[in-house]
Amino acid sequence: PADAAAPRAGAARRPRRKWEVFPGRNRFYCGGRLMLARHSGVFALTLGLILVTSGLFFAFDCPFLASHLTLAIPIIAAVLFFFVISCLLQTSFRDPGILPRATPSEAADLEKRIDSMGSSTYRPPARTMEVVINKYVVKLKYCYTCKMFRPPRTSHCSVCDNCVERFDHHCPWVGNCVGKRNYRYFYAFILSLSFLTAFIFACVVTHLTLRKCLGQHSPNFLDLCFTVLELVICFFSVWSILGLSGFHTYLVASNLTTNEDV
């Protein structure tokens, strides 16, 4: 019994890692190497739609198109598919740029400094601080949750309960905030997804048109249903994805974030 209690005592004395005591609303996996928002059901829907639509395309359209047109079609689709999935996972599981909260001692010290900036005739004291960056005066706002003055272009996400550097927006479709450290992957994801969706849509239309011109019919009714399902999903998805890609291309060109533009 004493020997069995020793490992438990050792485990109890083990210092807890930062991700184990993380105050935000996130879930961590693989020993804290991967993170995701707590409410990630829409992310599963996004991943499922991509996998199902692409899987149906590879199963029911690619064999016909490869034999009647060119083998390049399934190769291009496969490259786009793996790139889209890679960018999605990088966006969803990567730290978006979360800034650590102030420790209790740091927060207490900062509160004293803020109180000293106030006066007896003005309460509560100002929760802003002006700093000079590249000869320009920048006003920093105080975050009451993280107990710190936020750097420029940083905002507090109400969903994940974190201050995120160069915060763009919280995207439920990827199950994470989009910020400084994962925006490039998010932009690559929506851009490549728009290409993949448009490519599959064009190929499915070509498949159905070729069958009609050649006087061929689908091997069975189920194959036709799956092909039409791909067509419907891509048709209703491509417009919103293309619009989102265009909007973020404008933001990139203007050096803006969604949070700053809206």
Give the Cα separation of 36 and 207 in Å (integer): 39
Q: How many CB atoms lie within 10 A of CB 48?
A: 10
Length of the chain equals: 262
153: left (phi over 0), alpha (psi -120 to 50) or beta: left
Task: Report the distance separating Cα 94 and Cα 182, nearest Å.
Answer: 6
166: left (phi over 0), alpha (psi -120 to 50) or beta: left
Q: Give the active site residue among 171, 177, 203, 234.
A: 171
- For 26, 120, 205, the CA distances from 217, given in Å and listed in that order, are 50, 85, 14
Q: Is 146 a catalytic residue?
A: no
DSSP string, 128-173: EEEEEETTEEEEEEEETTTTEEPPTT-EEETTTTEEETT--EEETT
Report how far apart, in Å, the C-alpha atoms of 7 and of each of 2, 16, 18, 131 are. Answer: 10, 16, 22, 51
Contacts with 220 (C-beta within 8 Å, 6 or more apart), sequence order = none
Question: Which residues are catalytic, by number?
Answer: 171
